[in-house]
A and B are shown apart, each in its own frame.
Chain A
Amino acid sequence: MSRLDFDVAHLLAGLMVLVSFLMLYQDRLYSLLNTFALHALALALAVAWQAQIQDAPHLYITAAIALLFKAMIIPYALHRLIQRLGIHREVEPVAGLGITMVLGLALVALSISVMLPVTAAAGTLAREDLAFALSVVLLGLLMMITRRNAVSQVVGFMSLENGLILAATGARGMPLVVEISVAFSILIAFIVIGIFLFRIRERFDTVDVAALDRFRGDRR
C-alpha cells in the first residue's frame, strides 16, 4: 500500500469525523440536513477509495448506494418532510453547544484509546479506520441523546449507521448482501419514523418528543 493510498483513506475517514462534529454544531434543521448530506458524501468517497485501494469492485456499489440514498434521496425527503410539517425553524439542543463539543472530543479520544491497542494485530489502515468509525458511531449516539427534535434524532441515527458502514468497509470483505440489507433496514426505519412523525405531528402539533413524555403523564 502506497503512502498516498493511506493518506487519502485517512483524510476521508477523518473528514467524516469532522462532519460529525459539524452536525453536532448545527442548530437549524435545514443546515443539519445539508451537513448530513455532506456526511454521506464523505462516506461515499471513503468507501469508493477503499474499493479503489482494496481492488474490491463491489464496494463501488456500496459507495453508489450511499451516494444515491444517503446523500440525495433521504436528505431530499427529509427536506420535503420538514417543509410539509412547517418546522424548518426549530432546533433546540439540549445541552449547551460548547459542552456537547467537549463531550464529542472526549468520545473521539476514548474511541482512539480503545481501538488502537485492541487492534494491534490488524493492518494500519484498518486500525485507523476502525478508530474513526467508532468515533462517528459515538458522535451519532451523542447527537441522538442531545436533541429533542425527532427529525434530528433520525439524522443522528443515520449518521451512526454511516459510521458502521465505514467500519465494515475498512475491515476488508464485508459481504455485499449484508451491506444491502443494512441499507434497506435503514430505509425502512426512515420510512417508519417518517410515518410516525406525521402521526405525532397530527396529534400534538409538534415533533418535540417532550410532548410525548408529557402526554404519558411524566413529570420532568
Chain B
Amino acid sequence: MDVPTPAGASRRIGKAERGDACGYDDGEGVRTGVTLLSFLLGCVASLLLLGPAGVALPRRLASAAIYPLTALVCAALGSSALAALLAGRVEDVVLPLGVPWIGAHLHLDALAAFFLTVIGFGGFVASLYAIGYARHEEEPRRVLPFYAPFIAAMALVVLAADAFTFLLAWETMSVTSWALVMAHHERPGNLLAGHVYLVVASMGTLVLLLAFGLLAGTHGHYDFTSIRLAATHRTLAWLVLLLVLVGTGSKAGLVPLHAWLPLAHPAAPSHVSGLMSGIMTKVAIYGFIRIAFDLLGAPVWWWSLPPLVVGALTAVIGLLYAIVENDLKRLLAYSTVENIGIVFLGLGLAMAFRSGGFETAAALALTASLLHVANHATFKSLLFFGAGSVLDATGERDLGRLGGLIHRMPATAVLFLIGTAAISALPPLNGFVSEWLLFQTVLTSPLLAPWLLKFLVPAAGAMLALAAALAAACFVRAYGMAFLGRPRSPQAAGANEVDVWQRLAMALLAAACLLLGVLPGLAVDALRPLLRLVLGTTLPRQATEAWLSLIPLSARAGSYNGLIVLVFMVLAGTSAALLVRTVAARRMRRAPAWDCGFPTASPTTQYTPASFAQPLSHVFGAMAFDTAETVAMPPPGGLGPARFSLRSRDRIWELLYRRLALVVERIATRLNRLQFLTIRKYLSLVFAALVLLLVLLALWQ
C-alpha cells in the first residue's frame, strides 16, 4: 500500500472523483430539480398532520395508529435524505409562506441531508419503540398531538434557508418538546423542569435572533444565500459566533447552559427523552455548523477558542455530574452533555485547522465530529430506550432501587450493555471510531501556527481522554447497579422483559452501533460530499482501502480496522470462554454470591450507587460540586455506629442560576413601581423615550 503524502492524497481524490458516478461542480454538488426536496417536504407536512390526527382519532385507535405511521414517514424521510447525502444533491425551493417579502426559503444540501438522515432514523426507531412503550401511557392525548410535529419541526430547522423559517421551526421544536416534557406535569419536579426549559429555550432563541440580525446587517437580507454573499465584518462575525455558540449551545447543553437538560430530558416519556437527547441536541449542532462554518465564511484562528475551551470543559464537567447521579435517566442526560462537549471540541478543532489552511486536518476533525453526532444519536437513543424499558418493567429510575435485572430482562440487559460499551468508546463499536478520529486530529495539532493553539489543543485532548475514561467508569457504575448484583427493591425483583417492539427498536440501534463501528470507512465516505460543501475539500476514499481499514491521513499516522478487531475479539472471547469451560471449570459449582462474611446475604451488603461513585467524586467532585464530607466515628470503646455524611451543592446552579434569579427578582421588585405611576408620568416616559430616540437619530447622522 502506498503511503500518500498530503499532496498525494489530494491527487488521489482527483482521480477517484472522476471515477464517481456523480460529478461535482466544485463544491456545489449536483444541482437538480426539486423532486427530492418536495418529497421531503411532503414527509414533513404529513408529520405535522399526524399531530392533529392524534387528537381527532378515537382514544383507543390513536396510539396504535399514530406511532406506526410516524415510523413509516420517518423511515421514508431518513432513507431519502440518505440518498440525497450520498448523491450530494442540492435543491432549492421558495414557498410563498411566512413573512411576505421574505417567503419560506428551503434548501437541501449534503449538510442538511446528513442531519435529516439522523433525524429520520432516530424518529423511526423512537416511533418503533413507542409502539410498545406507549401501551402503558396513561395520558396518550398529552403526548400524541406533539410527538410527530416535534420531529417535523426538527426536520424543518434543518431544511430552512432563511432566518425567519429557521427561527420559526426552531421555536416550534422548542415548544412542542416543552409540551412533551410537561406531559406528566403532575409528577414532582416536572413543573420546575418545564419552567427552566422554557426560560433557557427563550433565551437561546433571543440570542439566535440577535445573531441573525447581525448577519443580515442593515440591508436586512434574511435568506442564507444573501447572508453568505454579504461579507460580515471580522469583529461582528466574532460576535455572531459567540451569540450562535450561546444560542445553539443552550439547546445542545453546553456548560454552563446545560442546567435544563438533566431536568427536562428525563421528565418526558422515554421515547421522547431519546429523541430529545439523541436527536434534538444534534439539530442544535446543525445550527452551529450551518452558521459558523457555512454562513460566516473563512474563520480566523481565535474564533476556534470558544468552541474548543467550552467543548473540553463541557465534556469533563458533564461526566462529573453523571458519575454521581443516582437517577438513571438523569445520568444519561448528563452524559449527553459530555458528548455534546466532544462534538463542539471537534468543531473547534476543525475551525482552528481551517483557519491555518490545513484543509485535510480540518476535514478530519469535522468528520470526527459528525460521526460522533451520528454515533451519539444511535447509542444515546439505545440507552434511553433501555432506561425506558427498565422504567417500564420496574417503575424505578433510581439506581439504588434497581439491580439484578440481567436475570429478569436478559435481552434488554445485552442491548443496554452494547450501548454502554459504545458510549464508553470501546472497540469495535461506533463510539470508539469517532473518538479515535478526534484523537488523530488532536495529534496533528503541532501543525498549527498560533502558540496558544499549540498548547491549548493538546490540553483539550487530555480533557477528552479524561472524559473518555470517566465515561467508562460512569457506565460501569450505571450498568453494574441496574443490571448486575441482586435486586435492591421488590420492584426490581419482579421485573418482566419488555415487549417485542421495544426490543426490536433497541436491537436495531445496537446493530447500528456495531455496523458503524465495524464499517466506519463507509460512514466516512458518505460524509465526503458534505466536507466538499462545507470545507471545499474531502478526505481520501476509504472504501477502496484493503480490508475496510480506516486510514484518515496516512497509514503511518494511524489506521484502524473495526472488522479485524471484531474478528479478533470474537475469536479471543470464544476461545477464552471455551478454555475456561473445558479446563478450569469442568465441574459446575454453585456458591452463594456476595458471601463475604455475611451468611445472611442481604442486598444491602452490595455496593450502593453512592458508595461506588465515592472515590471518583472524592477526587474530581470538587470541580463541579461544593462538597463537604464528614465522618463521625464513635469514641474508642463506644458502641454507636460510625456515620458518614456527604453534603454537595451544584456549583454552577448555585453561582450562576440562583444568583441570576436573585438579581432578576431584585430588579423586578424595583421595576414593580412602574406599575403604579400616574397618567402624566406614563406620558412623560413615552415622551422621554421618543425624545431620546430622536436625539439618537440626530446624533447618528
Contact of B678 among A110, A118, A209 (CB under 8 A): A209
Residues of A near B691 (CB, < 8 A) are 107, 110, 138
B698 within 8 A of A: yes
We find that the number of chain A residues with CB closer than 8 angstroms to chain B is 21
Residues of A near B676 (CB, < 8 A) are 216, 218
A212 within 8 A of B: yes
Residues of B near A107 (CB, < 8 A) are 691
Contact of A114 among B679, B686, B697 (CB under 8 A): B697
Main secondary structure of the interface of B (DSSP, over half): helix
- Are the CB atoms of B687 and A110 closer together than 8 Å? no
Contact of A110 among B684, B686, B695 (CB under 8 A): B695
A87 within 8 A of B: no
B680 within 8 A of A: yes
- Are the CB atoms of A118 and B679 closer together than 8 Å? no
- The stretch from A11-19, A30-38, A122-130, A142-150 touching chain B is A142-150
Residues of B near A142 (CB, < 8 A) are 687
B674 within 8 A of A: no
Contact of B694 among A94, A114, A145 (CB under 8 A): A114
Contacts A114-B694, A209-B679 known; A145 to B687 CB distance under 8 Å?
yes
- Are the CB atoms of B695 and A145 closer together than 8 Å? no
- Are the CB atoms of B698 and A114 closer together than 8 Å? yes
Residues of A near B686 (CB, < 8 A) are 141
We find that the number of chain B residues with CB closer than 8 angstroms to chain A is 15
CA distance A209 to B683 in the complex (A): 13
Residues of A near B679 (CB, < 8 A) are 209, 212-213
The minimal Cβ–Cβ distance linking A117 to chain B, given in whole angstroms, is 5
Residues of A near B582 (CB, < 8 A) are none
The minimal Cβ–Cβ distance linking A54 to chain B, given in whole angstroms, is 28
CA distance A141 to B684 in the complex (A): 9
Bitwise interface map of A from 102 to 132 toward B, beta carbon under 8 Å scored 1, else 0: 0000010011011001100000000000000
CA distance A94 to B681 in the complex (A): 12
List the A residue with the shortest CB-CB distance to B696.
A114
B690 within 8 A of A: yes
Contacts A141-B683, A145-B683 known; A218 to B698 CB distance under 8 Å?
no
Residues of B near A94 (CB, < 8 A) are 680
B701 within 8 A of A: yes
- Are the CB atoms of B697 and A118 closer together than 8 Å? yes
- Are the CB atoms of B701 and A118 closer together than 8 Å? yes
Bitwise interface map of A from 175 to 219 toward B, beta carbon under 8 Å scored 1, else 0: 000000000000000000000000000000000011011001010
Contacts A145-B683, A145-B684 known; A213 to B678 CB distance under 8 Å?
yes
Q: Which of A135-172 contact B (CB under 8 A)?
A: 138, 141-142, 144-145, 148
- Are the CB atoms of B698 and A141 closer together than 8 Å? no
- Are the CB atoms of B683 and A144 closer together than 8 Å? yes
The minimal Cβ–Cβ distance linking B379 to chain A, given in whole angstroms, is 60
CA distance A131 to B679 in the complex (A): 28
CA distance A144 to B680 in the complex (A): 8
Residues of A near B683 (CB, < 8 A) are 141, 144-145
25 intermolecular pairs with C-beta atoms under 8 Å apart = A110-B691, A110-B694, A110-B698, A111-B694, A114-B697, A114-B698, A118-B701, A138-B690, A141-B686, A141-B687, A141-B690, A144-B683, A144-B687, A145-B683, A145-B684, A145-B687, A209-B678, A209-B679, A210-B678, A212-B678, A212-B679, A213-B678, A213-B679, A218-B676, A218-B678
Q: List A residues at the B interface (Cβ < 8 Å).
A: 94, 107, 110-111, 113-114, 117-118, 138, 141-142, 144-145, 148, 209-210, 212-213, 216, 218, 220
Q: List B residues at the A interface (Cβ < 8 Å).
A: 676, 678-680, 683-684, 686-687, 690-691, 694-695, 697-698, 701
